[in-house]
Each structure stands twice: as structure tokens, then as C-alpha cells.
């Protein structure tokens, strides 16, 4: 279980930390060990604070997926406990980039932003810069940073993020750059502090890693093998979150449908969902991501019956061509995917299906792209994230000889994107005029006096409302669909 920081328990956590004897031997229990280093780091931050004559600030910038967003909350939790003030600007005393490497443009963005940090550090030499996340699991990246970005103070990876307190402490005690990257781990360290971004909704990891090895994907190499958290830890954590005001939970894993297979007492994802459904006060359950090959009838049944599981399923297709799917190592055919989608729609008619599509996989032809377009038209997605294939060193696809020329990929990409937009515009609007529950998430960015929330099926809705509605579920009439969102009014 994670310890969520709120006003009440922040004091308890700080009390626990101030009682730790930092001159004693380092504890062997991993959780205790990390609290010990939080106590040590806190002393360094206090000294820095006296030197600066103000509280040192820190900024965590997240790239990539919701797993990373969740990891960043863990980093922020520790930074807060050791005494940093969390700020939104990178003009801070400590800046961490939590990186992503799923596609090359994610890497390029990190390098670009690192260049900007270099000039900030020139102005503030006491500034510390840390890099972590998936990109750091690639040895070539770490080499490049060591040689070309020598102003970086700390580099660590995805498997030892639980050691952040210890590594942060090392940056105060060691003059040289601190580098700690693990190849893999089977450890899941519980009970560390964590800061939540939203008071009313939260993600929670139910598993880590991925065993699928889709031939284009770097994730299994940088996130390691599949490890599931124990159901009792997950349920206890969600209960705790609900007691702290959370109404919506997002269960996170690279392939949630294979949850529980490696537990001492195996348990299916559908069974886990049923346990979570029982938690009183929890209103909405979401999850990400489902691999089509592992999606069971049991799960469809549980979703159809559930009052809390949201009417949304993200079901990555990647390609509609059975030939390409085979080379991608996805382990389903176009027909099997279509059959599955039809089965889900039949059991849960008002569900929104969304997907991921890759265009330009090695050897992909115009005919293959037409197959993908055919699936989009048949399944009628509410939304589809369309990506241009990116060659990831070390994956089987990167070594394939028939890489598709850029201009061809671009043409195919536009064809797919146009189809997605056309179909999803029609799909999203099917509830126009209806009244539905909306969880209000934030003030509208563009229009004063308006708030923004989400339907159960994940579609955004904007309507006139007070800030006090944030975190509440209210009835909204969906007056007008504007492409990908609704304008509505509270009823
Ligand atoms: N190139 C392009 N897209 C990729 N994805 C994963 N690896 C690659 C790659 N090498 C996409 C997949 C996945 C999503 C998270 O990112 O569509 O579902
Ligand atoms: Fe990558 Fe495939 Fe695992 Fe998803 S299921 S993380 S695409 S290897």
C-alpha cells in the first residue's frame, strides 16, 4: 500500500522521519531503508534551505503514459517529505524529467528540454537535475547523457524508482553524477509516501512490466517482466484513497488482462474488478490497457453487470491486417479482433471503444492499410490514437529490412487519421440530447464560469458551473456535440 500525503498524515510521516536516528546503521527492510534516507535527505534540504534563505523548490516533469504520471506522484511524495516546495516551473532548485521512450520523438523532446535546463543551471549553479524513467533503461541513452549532458546530477531507471530517497540523498553526499540503473527487478516496495495530483481521482498500479514482446515495442525491455501486486494491497490502497475523497480509480498495467497470473494464489483481472466493485464510496472504475488476446468472456460479463466500471474500453488494434499482426507478434487476427469487438458491443451496447494504431510498420503495404481502415469502420471507435511507426533499437522490428519510406508512411497515416476522425465524430455524438452523469474534473481552460468533466465513456463535457462542483458527479444534459466533446448544461 502507498501512504497518501494529506494534511493529517503528512504530520505523522514527518514525525516518523524526525524520530529516525540517521547515525544508526542503514536498515535492511527496504521500506524502512527508504524512510531512513528520507530522514537523511531532509537534513541536507534543511541545510540548503538555510544557505538559500528560502525553501528550495523542485519540479517534476512527466513525459509519456499514465504509468509515468503515477511514478511521478511517487517522486513528488518523497520530494515533499524531504522538504522541497513543489512548483510548476523548471526554474527550480531540483528538476526531474521522468522520461518516455516508446517512440523516438519522445526521446527527442527530452534532449531538447535538457538543453533548456542547461542554461537555467548556468544561472543557478546549485540547481540539481535528475533523469529517470523508461529512456534511462537504454544503455545508449545513458552513455549519451554521460558524455554530452554532463550537467546532469542523477540518473536512475524504472526498476529502482522506490530507491529515489536513497539516490536523492546520494546527490548531496557525492560530488560526481549518481547513476543507478537496474536491468530488472522482482521487488514491489509498498508503504512509501505518494502525492496525488487530483484529490478526487487516482491511478493505481495493479501490475508492472509486460511479457508480450510485440515486435515493435521497447516496453518489455525497459519495464521488465510482468509482476502483479497482491489483491489485498490493491484493495487496501483503494479503500484508503476513497476515505481520502477519491471517487474514480484507474487501474494501471501494460496488459491488465493478464493480471494475477504470477501471484502465489492466482486471480483473474475480472475477479480483482469484482473485489474493487465492493468498495463502498467508490463510484467509477477505469483500467488501462487491455490486450485483445487476453480479454476474457468473464471480463465482458463482469463489465456488463457492473454499476461502477466505466463504459469505456481501450483495446489497442495496432493493425487491421492479419499478415502484419502476425509479424507484430500480436497473437490475434483481424477476424478475431472484429469478433471480440462485436461480442463486447453486444454485451455492453453503450460502451465506447478506443484504440491505438501504428502506421508504417516494416513491410506494411497500401492493402494492409486498407485492412486497418476497414476495421476502424467496422468497430466504430470513439477515438483512436494513431502513431507513425518508430524504429526502436533492440526490438525485432528494428532489424527488419523492409522499412517503409517516410513519404509512403505519411500518405497512409493521413488516410488512417481521416477515417478515424470521420468515424469518431459520428460515434461521439450519439448521445446528443441525453442526460448523463459527469464527473467534474477542472475549471474550463478557455471559458470563464465553465467547468469540464467526463462521461462514464470518457467523453469530455463542458458546461456552466461553479468551481465547487470539481470532484462531484452531476447530471448534465448533452446539448451539442462539437466533434470530440459536448457542450452541456447541468440539470
Ligand atoms: N512505434 C510507434 N508506436 C508504438 N507504440 C508502441 N511502440 C511503438 C513504436 N515502436 C504505440 C502502440 C502502443 C502505444 C502505447 O504506443 O500503439 O499501444
Ligand atoms: Fe508493448 Fe505489446 Fe507490451 Fe503493449 S503489450 S507494452 S505494445 S509489448
d(CA 400, CA 360): 12
Residue 9: predicted pLDDT: 77
Q: Which atom of ligand 2 is nearest to the CA of 213?
A: 8
Q: What does the DSSP 8-state code read for residue 265?
A: S
Nearest protein CA to atom 5 of ligand 2, as residue: 212
Cβ(268) – ligand 2 distance below 6 Å: no
Distance 329 CA to ligand 2 centre (A): 10
Distance 126 CA to ligand 2 centre (A): 40
Q: Nearest Cα to 40, choosing from 8, 10, 101, 81?
A: 81
Which letter, b or e, does each residue of 298-308 get, where b requires 16 or more Cβ atoms within 10 Å of its Cβ? ebbebbeebeb
Distance of CA 34 to the CA centre of its chain: 24
Q: Which atom of ligand 1 is nearest to the CA of 392?
A: 10
Distance 217 CA to ligand 2 centre (A): 6
Cβ(220) – ligand 2 distance below 6 Å: yes
Using an 8 Å Cβ cutoff, are 215 and 397 in contact? yes
Task: Give bridge partners of residue 315 from the DSSP assignment.
Answer: none
Distance 316 CA to ligand 2 centre (A): 9
Residue 126: predicted pLDDT: 87
Distance 213 CA to ligand 2 centre (A): 6
Cβ(256) – ligand 2 distance below 6 Å: no
Distance 220 CA to ligand 1 centre (A): 12
Residue 109: predicted pLDDT: 95
What is the full per-residue pLDDT of the chain (491 aa) written as tens digits?
Answer: 677 776 667 788 888 888 999 999 999 999 999 999 999 999 999 999 999 999 999 999 999 999 999 999 999 999 999 999 999 999 999 999 999 999 999 999 999 999 999 999 999 988 999 999 999 999 999 999 999 999 999 999 999 999 999 999 999 999 889 999 998 888 888 888 888 889 999 999 999 999 999 999 999 999 999 999 999 999 999 999 999 999 999 999 999 999 999 899 999 999 999 999 999 999 999 999 999 999 999 999 999 999 999 999 999 999 999 999 999 999 999 999 999 999 999 999 999 999 999 999 999 999 999 999 999 999 999 999 999 999 999 999 999 999 999 999 999 999 999 999 999 999 999 999 999 999 999 999 899 999 999 999 999 999 999 999 999 999 999 999 999 999 999 99
Using an 8 Å Cβ cutoff, are 431 and 478 in contact? yes
Q: Nearest Cα to 401, choosing from 360, 361, 362?
A: 362
Residue linked to cell 446539448: 479
Cβ(462) – ligand 1 distance below 6 Å: no
Cβ(318) – ligand 1 distance below 6 Å: yes
Nearest protein CA to atom 9 of ligand 1, as residue: 390
Cβ(318) – ligand 2 distance below 6 Å: no
Q: Which atom of ligand 1 is nearest to the CA of 318?
A: 17
Distance 82 CA to ligand 2 centre (A): 35
d(CA 50, CA 44): 10
| The three cell numbers locating residue 379 | 468497430
Distance 28 CA to ligand 1 centre (A): 39
pTM as predicted: 0.92
Q: Which atom of ligand 1 is nearest to the CA of 289?
A: 18
Q: Where are the beta strands (DSSP E) in 116-238?
A: 128-133, 154-156, 178-180, 193-194, 201-205, 207-208, 227-228
For 453, residues 6+ apart whose C-beta sits below 8 A from its C-beta are 438, 439, 440, 441, 460, 461, 463, 474, 476
Among left, alpha and beta (phi > 0; psi -120 to 50; other), residue 295 is beta
Cβ(103) – ligand 1 distance below 6 Å: yes
Using an 8 Å Cβ cutoff, are 452 and 444 in contact? yes
Q: Which atom of ligand 2 is nearest to the CA of 102?
A: 1
Distance 330 CA to ligand 2 centre (A): 9
Which letter, b or e, does each residue of 82-110 get, where b requires 16 or more Cβ atoms within 10 Å of its Cβ? bbbeeeeebebbbbbbbbbbbbeebbeeb
Amino acid at each position: 500500500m502507498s501512504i497518501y500525503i494529506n494534511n493529517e498524515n503528512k504530520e505523522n510521516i514527518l514525525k516518523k522521519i524526525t524520530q529516525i536516528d540517521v547515525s544508526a546503521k542503514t536498515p535492511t527492510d527496504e521500506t524502512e531503508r527508504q524512510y531512513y534516507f528520507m530522514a537523511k535527505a531532509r537534513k541536507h534540504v534543511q541545510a540548503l534551505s538555510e544557505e538559500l534563505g528560502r525553501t528550495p523548490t523542485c519540479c517534476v516533469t512527466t513525459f509519456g503514459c499514465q504509468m509515468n504520471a503515477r511514478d511521478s506522484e511517487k517522486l513528488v511524495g518523497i520530494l515533499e517529505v524531504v522538504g522541497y516546495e513543489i512548483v510548476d516551473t523548471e526554474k527550480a532548485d531540483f528538476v526531474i524529467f521522468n522520461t518516455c521512450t516508446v517512440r523516438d520523438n519522445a526521446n527527442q523532446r527530452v534532449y531538447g528540454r535538457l538543453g533548456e535546463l542547461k542554461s537555467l543551471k548556468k544561472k543557478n549553479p546549485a540547481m540539481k537535475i535528475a533523469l529517470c524513467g523508461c529512456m534511462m533503461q537504454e544503455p545508449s541513452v545513458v552513455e549519451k547523457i554521460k558524455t554530452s549532458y554532463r550537467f546532469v546530477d542523477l540518473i536512475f531507471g524504472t526498476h529502482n524508482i522506490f530507491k529515489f530517497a536513497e539516490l536523492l540523498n546520494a546527490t548531496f553526499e557525492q560530488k560526481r553524477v549518481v547513476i543507478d540503473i537496474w536491468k530488472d527487478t522482482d521487488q514491489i516496495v509498498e508503504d512509501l509516501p505518494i502525492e496525488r495530483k487530483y484529490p478526487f481521482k487516482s491511478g493505481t498500479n495493479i501490475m508492472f512490466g509486460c511479457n508480450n514482446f510485440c515486435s515493435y515495442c521497447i516496453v518489455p525491455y525497459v519495464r521488465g517482466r510482468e509482476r502483479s501486486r497482491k489483491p489485498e494491497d490493491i484493495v487496501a490502497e483503494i479503500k484508503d484513497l476513497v476515505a481520502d475523497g477519491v471517487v474514480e480509480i484507474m487501474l494501471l498495467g501494460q496488459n491488465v488482462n493478464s493480471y494475477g497470473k504470477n501471484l502465489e494464489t492466482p486471480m483473474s483481472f475480472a475477479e480483482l474488478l469484482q473485489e474493487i466493485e465492493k468498495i463502498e464510496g467508490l463510484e467509477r472504475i477505469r483500467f488501462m490497457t487491455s490486450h485483445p488476446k487476453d480479454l476474457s468472456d468473464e471480463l465482458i460479463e463482469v463489465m456488463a453487470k457492473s454499476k461502477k466500471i466505466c463504459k469505456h474500453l481501450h483495446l489497442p488494434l495496432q493493425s487491421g491486417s492479419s499478415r502484419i499482426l502476425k509479424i507484430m507478434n500480436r497473437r490475434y487476427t483481424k477476424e478475431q479482433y472484429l469478433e471480440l469487438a462485436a461480442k463486447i458491443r453486444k454485451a455492453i451496447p453503450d460502451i465506447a471503444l478506443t484504440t491505438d494504431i501504428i502506421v508504417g510498420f516494416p513491410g506494411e503495404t497500401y492493402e494492409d492499410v486498407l485492412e486497418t481502415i476497414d476495421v476502424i469502420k467496422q468497430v466504430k471507435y470513439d477515438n483512436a490514437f494513431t502513431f507513425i511507426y518508430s524504429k526502436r533499437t533492440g526490438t525485432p522490428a528494428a532489424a527488419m529490412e523492409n522499412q517503409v519510406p517516410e513519404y509512403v508512411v505519411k500518405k497512409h497515416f493521413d488516410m488512417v487519421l481521416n477515417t478515424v476522425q470521420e468515424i469518431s465524430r459520428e460515434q461521439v455524438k450519439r448521445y446528443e440530447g441525453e442526460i448523463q452523469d459527469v464527473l467534474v474534473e477542472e475549471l474550463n481552460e478557455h471559458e470563464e464560469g465553465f467547468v469540464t468533466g467526463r462521461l462514464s465513456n470518457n467523453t469530455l463535457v463542458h458546461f456552466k458551473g461553479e468551481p465547487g462542483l470539481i470532484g462531484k458527479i452531476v447530471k448534465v444534459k448533452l446539448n451539442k456535440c462539437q466533434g470530440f466533446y459536448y457542450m452541456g448544461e447541468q440539470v
